[in-house]
Chains A and B, each alone.
Chain A
Amino acid sequence: MSDTAVASHPLVDGAVGPGCKKVDPIVVADGVTRQFGGLKAVDVEHVEIPRGQITALIGPNGAGKTTFFNLLTGFDKPNTGSWSFEGRSLARVPAFKVARAGMVRTFQLTKSLGRLTVLQNMLLGATKQGGENFFTAIVKPLWAKREDEITKRAEDLLTRFKLDAKKDDYAASLSGGQRKLLEMARALMSEPTLVMLDEPMAGVNPALTQSLLGHIRGLKEEGMSVLFVEHDMHMVRHISDWVIVMAEGRIVAEGPPETVMTDQAVIDAYLGAHHDEDLGEMEVELDLPTVEEAEAAAEKKHEQQEGNH
């Protein structure tokens, strides 16, 4: 069914196609399924995420991307399946241990900790803090040194993300886009090996998107692997090395960004079958919703979600 011209790729071991083997995978997942009532939200037979690259996970709304993220990071439990991270099985490992193993995620709906300051948000991301132990916490000299180190690192990161001026403000006072930045910076405090970003651009002011893109590229330069979910095809094409396409819970296509957009399976996934347009020309439609709408929608969804808790 695939009419891609590229049959092989330097990242791939063998032929390019959905579920293809990678030369150097960091995550390998097998037979992962998650059912909600009658709906099979995730049904991934086999997928591998390449190490040291920026991989985009795309697909129409409701394709199961967020659910797949939740499963990989231990925030949800699959019906079946197993997966490994750097060769170590992570199936049924609780979320906090997944994060400690070096696989850190952000959320589609930002989860900044409103009544902590921006700096405290950052410090919370740091690992190996003796002061997080109940008994050690009481005696400040036991953790003061580590606190200084991580404060330094946090301030550096905040400067890089242009949040240094806000460091003593409550996170709740930041704009939606700044919260996204903060969440990403906070995830980096733990020096992860794989960063998983769920819609990092949604709701972000267009003025900030360029710098966000830069930051994501920067992660790769520092040797991290990145897996991100995004709707903005322009951005996907711009920064990703590899694209995985999900639809109705399955991996329907994979490939380098230049060619995957022309894959018939991808066009079908987005537009339904019987369309033969090139997705590259569909950008305008695919860029929907506009940034303002997305920001408003994200805020609204966020409020409503808080209302439900």
Chain B
Amino acid sequence: MDWGTILGNAISQIASPTTAAYALAAIGISVHFGYTGLLNFGQAGFMAIGAYAFAIATLGFGWPVWAALLMVILASVVFAFILGLPTLRLRADYLAIVTIAAAEIVRYVVSTTGLTPVTGGASGLSGFSGGFYALNPIPEGTYGFGPFTYTADGWWVRIVGWTLVAIATVLVWLLMRSPWGRVVKGIREDEDAVRSLGKNVYSYKMQSLVLGGVLGGLAGFVFILPRAVQPGNYGTALTFFIYTLLLLGGAATVFGPIVGAMIFWVVLSLSNGIIVGLVESGIVSFLTPDQAGQIRFIIVGVALMLLVIFRPQGIFGNKKELSFSV
């Protein structure tokens, strides 16, 4: 087993654009679930909407990057309204069911054969990021040290991804220390009480849904920069990965989503590397390499269960809140 490569791969996950995308999506879920108490189980749908909006605006309409990004935001806002209008007056579980259903509808629709000219059908879209990399101000070459050595484009996508994460973190922090944040946190605790104090709960929930959804859409944009858009990536498992890492870091904490995303990917890459290494070196003989690749899902599933039972406030969350649980 090549421990150097396994460790190097794991460590490099800390800064990877995928980690940034997950962190961004998780900040969105922290706004929904952590602060407002909205059970959005369709974050994968928001990411798909963002990804396809960017790719289609670029490939289909030939729009420049900034316009495609506006499209990402607009599409996420519209999607949030579609989800929110029927459900935000209802009990929390309805939102859960409707959001997860809507995310699946999005996946079915973008992969349907009839829409292949627009969405690429089951094989998805690629070749949309030329405009984005053309904006890269960094001269060609390779920079960095150790596992953090990237090409100019590698740096560019990381800089943009993590800058978006930083902006989102600051924005959410500013909002949550304000009276606006107080209202949404109140809604998380008991929306009838907040309603009885003269706050338009429906409107606040909608604002929160839109904010977190736009962050999810932007996460979809970051997610596809290093890869193609493929409908298979936006299954429900993606949403639950995001919940797992958010619960890992702490659902209602400022840095929880970032720390959670980093730990999540480092641990996943590490365990995956070790298991695959064990299988390939013949130490573990009852698994095929393919099966070894699936173990990560089992690990995530079990981790999600353990976290939510034993540390619902996250591994770094506030001890005091533990006594009242979620």
Contacts and interface: CB of A to CB of B under 8 A. Distances in A.
DSSP class of B's interface residues: helix, strand, loop or mixed? Answer: helix
B179 A131 contact: yes
A129 B185 contact: no
Contacts of A104: 196-198
Contacts of A133: 180
A116 B185 CA distance: 8
Nearest to B170: A138
A131 B321 contact: no
Say which size band chain A's interface belongs to: 35 or more
Contacts, number: 110
Contacts of A129: 179
Interface residues of B, number: 33
A227 B5 CA distance: 72
Contact of A134 (B180, B185, B324): B180
A137 B179 contact: yes
Contact of B179 (A73, A106, A116, A143): A143
Interface string A120-153: 1101110101111110011010010001000000
A46 B180 CA distance: 40
Interface stretch (B148-156, B186-194, B273-281): B186-194
A99 interface: yes
Interface stretch (A107-115, A159-167, A279-287): A107-115
B299 interface: no
A190 B190 contact: no
Nearest to B187: A113
Interface string B173-205: 011011111110110111011111111110000
B179 A123 contact: yes
B193 A113 contact: yes
Interface string B195-219: 1111111000001000100000000
A99 B197 CA distance: 6
Contact of B183 (A94, A97, A132, A143): A132
Contacts of B175: 134, 137-138
A107 B189 contact: no
A111 B190 contact: yes
Contact of A113 (B171, B179, B186): B186
A170 B180 contact: no
B92 interface: yes
A113 B194 CA distance: 9
Given A125-B197, A138-B171, A190-B197, A131 B180 contact: yes
Given A95-B196, A99-B195, A115-B321, A137 B178 contact: yes
A131 B178 contact: yes
A80 to B, nearest CB: 22
A268 to B, nearest CB: 34
Interface in A252-266: none
Nearest to A104: B196
A137 B174 contact: yes
A121 B190 CA distance: 11
Contacts of B201: 96
B196 A73 contact: yes
Given A104-B197, A147-B179, 12 more contacts: A95-B192, A100-B198, A107-B196, A111-B196, A113-B189, A115-B185, A115-B188, A124-B183, A125-B197, A131-B178, A134-B207, A186-B197
Interface of A: 73, 75, 94-97, 99-100, 104-107, 111-116, 120-121, 123-125, 127, 129-134, 137-138, 140, 143, 147, 170, 172-173, 183, 186-187, 189-190, 309
7 smallest beta-carbon distances between A and B, as pairs: A131-B179, A137-B180, A111-B193, A99-B198, A137-B178, A113-B189, A100-B198
